[in-house]
Amino acid sequence: MAFMETLLSLISLLSSALLLHAAVEGPKAITLRLIHPFSPHSPFYPGNITNMEKIDLLIQGTEARMDHLFSTKREENWNGSSEVDDIVAPMKYTGFYYVAQVGIGSFPPLPGPKVIPYFFMMDTGSELTWVQCEGCDPCFPLQQQNFPYKRSQSYKPIPCGDPTCPTPKQDCFQSFCGFRISYGESPSPSAVGEIIRETLTFPSDFRGTESYSTLFLGCGFQSRNFRFPQQNQIGGILGLGFGGPRTFPLWNQVGKKRFSYFLCTSEHTNSKLYIGEGAKMVGPQVLSTPLLRGSKPTLYYVDLQDISIQNVRLGLQGSFSSGTAIDTGCPISLLVSNAYARVRIGFVQYFTQFHIQPYDNGSKPKDVPILDLCFPNPSGFNRYPTMTFHFKGADLVVQPPGIFMVGRNYICVALKSGPATMIGVFQQTNYKFSYDFELGDRRRGEVGALLFAPQDCGSPS
């Protein structure tokens, strides 16, 4: 549930999200193909939206992410068990957040669809998958019906105190296994409901579907302080986070040991998410660094040791001792204040050689983003630097499109200072990342391995 604040910040762009066509790579692996939200090929194409509006949304989402992670009571850990195969789901892309379309329930022999599809926000920092259910009071607005769980033939309630209930007894909802979630600062958005067993259905690459029964699903009955517009299309959250000893994210529930994704920046190319065998990464370009536990149990952490700007090391050893998370719920990367200050100096020194000085508060035009470090954009300038995150055993070289936001009169560095260090989505673009839990040395405290390699997003589609 880690990125719900960013969901609240970006919800006005939900109508610009795009449907995604499912395809399989490897034996029964989840493969999600997305259309860029700003592409005219998207059925949710919002029309023209300015670069400033896009950047503002990224900034707001990043700030909201920090509010959530560092000022919130996290949901209780939860757990469960299931023996199922890989799945395939369609997805769409909203801003810098991904939404999977998943069918829920079983409704034969009624005419029409045998399942009801909902869009879920995908989050690698959240362990609980939940949807708003029929009978909720209060509810957030949803364009379609809330999930009619009692009419589903595959709905299986879990009594309060049942040994299969993955949450503590104090979280029971009425007489059933329950969950309680709180997000952000007061007035805090919150969700309360029942955890049920239900069937989730995903399209296959053979124009059919694959269904997986008795998965844990949160059924939300009380949704407070969610600032969603009436045209909201998001029904809930798809949790892919790691979590604590009682957690059970979707990849774990379907019996898989890895998932991966790659994110493209072009509005005319596809991004994908895999769960299962299709998430394997091999080849000479594939690099690997250990996945670690950190202060936030649902997030994935790596050992960041230093940062370079255009191959010049900044000497930041020891600056990231509190941990570095890699997070799809954070739009723009954040660095702890001392590291950010040194990186800022590094970028200023780089541009100084081209006689380009940063805007100060007095000289910055009104149509320049509110990011901290922005420079004037000289006509014809194209000498942008790379930025390298030096992880333990592997270097992630971020190319200029993943560092800078460029407009007619500005070059802005897409980084922020924050209470923690997090590698956000903007800096993950044009790479494929795989979270593999069969790898890693448990004796050293490793919980898996993060593998990555440059990804060619292909030709426009």
- pLDDT tens digit string along 239-249? 888 865 566 78
Tokens 């000085």: give the residue: 357
CA distance linking residue 89 with residue 355, whole number of Å: 50
Token pair belonging to 354: 């081209």
Domain membership flag for residue 461:
no
Lookup: tokens for 332 = 């723009």
Residues 244 and 352 in one domain: no
Distance separating alpha carbons of residues 340 and 421, to the nearest angstrom: 9
Asked which of 258, 279, 300 is the last residue of a domain, the reply is 279
Enter the tokens of residue 180: 């309680």
Q: How many C-alpha atoms does 177 have within 13 Å on its Cβ side?
A: 22
103 and 191 share one domain? yes
Q: What is the β-pairing status of strands 415-418 and 333-336?
A: parallel
259/163 same-domain check = yes
Bigger pLDDT: 335 vs 169? 335
Q: What is the mean pLDDT of residues 323-344?
A: 92
Q: Is residue 459 part of a domain?
A: no
pLDDT of res. 459: 55
Contact 124, 239 (CB under 8 A): no
Residue 395: Cβ within 10 Å count = 13
| Residues 6+ away with beta carbon under 8 Å from 442 | none
98 contacts: CB under 8 Å, gap ≥ 6: 32, 34, 91, 92, 121, 122, 261, 271, 273, 328
Confidence category of residue 20, pLDDT binned at 50, 70, 90 = very low
The backbone torsions φ and ψ at residue 360, rounded to the nearest 5 degrees and listed phi first, read -105, 175
Which residues are within 8 A (CB) of 355 and not within 5 positions of it... i.e. 6 or more apart?
Answer: none
pLDDT at residue 404, rounded to an integer:
95
Report whether pLDDT(215) > 60: yes
Q: Under DSSP, is residue 400 helix (H, G, I), strand (E, B) or coil? A: helix
Kindly report, residue by residue over 427-445, the tens digit of the pLDDT.
998 899 999 999 999 999 9
Strand-strand pairing, 116-123 and 234-239: parallel
Residues 88 and 31 in one domain: yes
Residue 252 lies in a domain: yes
Over residues 66-89, the mean pLDDT reads 42
pLDDT over 90, % of the chain: 45
Same domain? For 275 and 291 the reply is: no
* Residue 67 in this model has a pLDDT that exceeds 80: no
Task: Mark whether 192 and 209 lie in a shared domain.
Answer: yes
Q: Are residues 26 and 148 part of one domain? A: yes
**Range name among 268-277, 296-305, 354-363 with the lowest pLDDT average:** 268-277
Q: Would you place residue 4 in the very low, low, confident or very high pLDDT band (cuts 50, 70, 90)?
A: very low
**Does 305 share its domain with 247?**
no
Domain housing 336: 287-454
Residue 460 falls within a domain, yes or no?
Answer: no
Residue 225's Cβ-count burial label (10 Å; 0-12, 13-18, 19+) is middle
In a domain, 86, yes or no: yes
Q: In a 3-state reduction of DSSP, which class is residue 340?
A: helix
Residue 43 has pLDDT above 70, yes or no: no
Query: Do 48 and 156 belong to one domain?
Result: yes
Above 80 in pLDDT, residue 267? no
- State phi, psi for 308 to the nearest 5 degrees: -120, 150
Task: Indicate whether 61 pLDDT > 90.
Answer: no
In this predicted structure, the answer to whether residue 259 has a pLDDT above a threshold of 80 is yes
pLDDT tens, position by position, 136-182: 999 999 999 999 999 999 999 999 999 989 888 888 999 999 998 87
Confidence of residue 1 (pLDDT cuts 50, 70, 90): very low
Residues 415, 295 share a domain: yes
Cα 17 versus chain centre, distance: 15
* Residue 149, in any domain of the structure: yes
Higher-pLDDT residue of 234, 245: 234
Residues 333, 364: one domain? yes
CATH value at residue 205: 2.40.70.10
Closest CA relative to residue 59, chosen from 419, 415, 420, 363: 415
Question: What's phi and psi for 351, nearest 5 deg?
Answer: -75, -20
- What integer pLDDT is reported at residue 79 of this predicted model? 34
Residues 87 and 121 in one domain: yes
The whole-number pLDDT of residue 204 equals: 55
Cα–Cα distance between 24 and 288 in angstroms, integer? 24
Q: What is the mean pLDDT of residues 188-217?
A: 80
Mean pLDDT for all residues in the chain: 79
Question: Looking at residue 107, what is its pLDDT?
Answer: 92
* Residue 45 resides in a domain: yes
Q: Identify the domain boundary among 279, 313, 330.
A: 279
| CB-CB neighbours of 290 under 10 Å | 21
Q: What is the pLDDT of residue 269?
A: 66
Is there a domain that residue 440 lies in?
yes
pLDDT over 50 at 19, yes or no: no
Domain total in the chain: 2
pLDDT the model gives residue 243: 64
- Of 250, 279, 308, the one marking the end of a domain is 279
Question: Which amino acid belongs to residue 415?
Answer: L
311: left (phi over 0), alpha (psi -120 to 50) or beta: left
